Amino acid sequence: MSRIVCKLTLCTVFACLLTMPVSAQTDTTTKKSRLTIGGYGEAVYSYHFYSDNVFRYSHADRYKDDPGFGRVDIPHAVIMLGYDFGHGWSVGTEIEFEHGGIEAATEKESEETGEFEQEIERGGEVALEQFWVQKSFNKHFNIRAGHIVVPVGMTNNNHTPNMFFSVYRPEGENTIMPCTWHETGLSLWGRAGSWRYEVQLLPSLNSNFFNDAGWIHNGSASPYEFRPANGIATAPRIDWTGIEGLRLSLSGYAGNSFNNDITTTVYSETSRYYGAKGTVLVGAFDFAYRNRWLTLRGNLDYGHLGDAALISSRNKNQTTMSGNPYPHTTVGESAYDASIEAGVNLLTWCYERAKNRRLYLFARYDHYDSFVPAEGLNDVEWAERQYVSAGLNYYPIPEIAIKAEGGVRILDSQYNNEPFFALGITWTGFFKH
């Protein structure tokens, strides 16, 4: 009897499942996932038709006929993970492997009498670029705390490889500012109509790492187990998207950079460095416009460094103790970058047949200078450059891009120009599990 009852019960359950509405049967599979997985990556081959000798600027004539050099590289390979806990709480992470990451190990060499050796088989970096907790109250106001991207300029706020046409990240901004710039701090952000705002509080940059070739580019780095934070900086940004396909943005940065290192020095009133602040001010405008046949992007950045002559003197006289990480160069009082790129989708004429495929013919121009000298400092003339390039971006599907680019870096007449060619394949994907 019990077997009959059991069979009837199973049949009843099975019948209920068969007659259940489709929406009820699939409720668990269609429910929005709280876990977000994504990432992006680039693999590149480039050939440079100029010398890579370190003295090619100081003795340009000696190296003008040198052969070029080729490289293969994985500039960025990134994994993104996020989770929505509910009630407005969420987290986000971004782990980046630059140039293939690091392959280092201690090995016991049997062919060398069994001695131990430390070997680095591949150079590169592994960086935690984002690691934050967010509380969302509504679309107008959100608080994010942790390790965050600093959205100053066009590239920092749009650094995935589908956001620019060049094989490598845009050269001007990538030279004069940290890129991708990431700091541990606090962000307040929200949206109101066509406007999006963001204000960040961050640790100040470290002027000991400023240099002539990259202005403040290395100032956010720290070779230590912690990031010195003797001063607090701010980074605001505002975006307007009131016209379809168009975005206009203003962003900036302000903070003192002097004496923000592993050891804080107390200077007496008689010291030439007494009262020095090394105030860094950056202002940036960038825009993007896109329709189905045209994509147009550009930016204008200008930065100023207070006490640049004093910082240059101090940096050149940094301790020469073995292993110190400082560059020992002068730094410019200001730096700038102006760039524009335009791409035309050659598949627009067969838009319906092409479906999601796109083929852009593009051109790009940058003019930047990482060293505009303070009074009393000699100019670093090779730091001013123009970058002209053109090429193709093919998207067989929206997430994959195959890039080809050829161009030249144009320097002052006493130096040799630097032509190049590059091929790259990239992916950018954001999906949920």
| Domains of the chain by residue range | 34-101+122-320+339-428
CB 279, CB 232: distance < 8 Å: no
pLDDT band of residue 142 (cuts 50, 70, 90) is very high
Q: Distance between CA atoms of 23 and 419, rounded to whole angstroms? A: 60
What pLDDT shows up at residue 12?
Answer: 40
What pLDDT shows up at residue 264?
Answer: 82
Asked whether residue 13 carries a pLDDT value surpassing 70, the answer given is no
pLDDT band of residue 100 (cuts 50, 70, 90) is confident
Asked whether residue 28 carries a pLDDT value surpassing 50, the answer given is no
What pLDDT shows up at residue 22?
Answer: 35
Yes or no: domain 34-101+122-320+339-428 corresponds to CATH 3.90.550.10: no
Asked whether residue 113 carries a pLDDT value surpassing 60, the answer given is no
What pLDDT shows up at residue 108?
Answer: 55
Q: Distance between CA atoms of 117 and 109, rounded to whole angstroms? A: 7
Asked whether residue 2 carries a pLDDT value surpassing 70, the answer given is no
Q: What mean pLDDT comes out for the span 80-94?
A: 96
Dihedral Cα 356, 427, 298, 392, nearest 10 deg: -70
Q: Distance between CA atoms of 202 and 131, rounded to whole angstroms? A: 14
Cβ neighbours, 10 Å, residue 96: 22
pLDDT band of residue 4 (cuts 50, 70, 90) is very low
383 φ/ψ angles, rounded to the nearest 5 degrees: -75, -15
pLDDT band of residue 117 (cuts 50, 70, 90) is low
Amino acid at 327: P
Q: What mean pLDDT comes out for the span 55-81?
A: 94
165 φ/ψ angles, rounded to the nearest 5 degrees: -85, -30
Higher pLDDT, 232 or 223: 232
Mean per-residue pLDDT of the chain: 88
CB 316, CB 327: distance < 8 Å: no
Q: Distance between CA atoms of 330 and 132, rounded to whole angstroms? A: 35
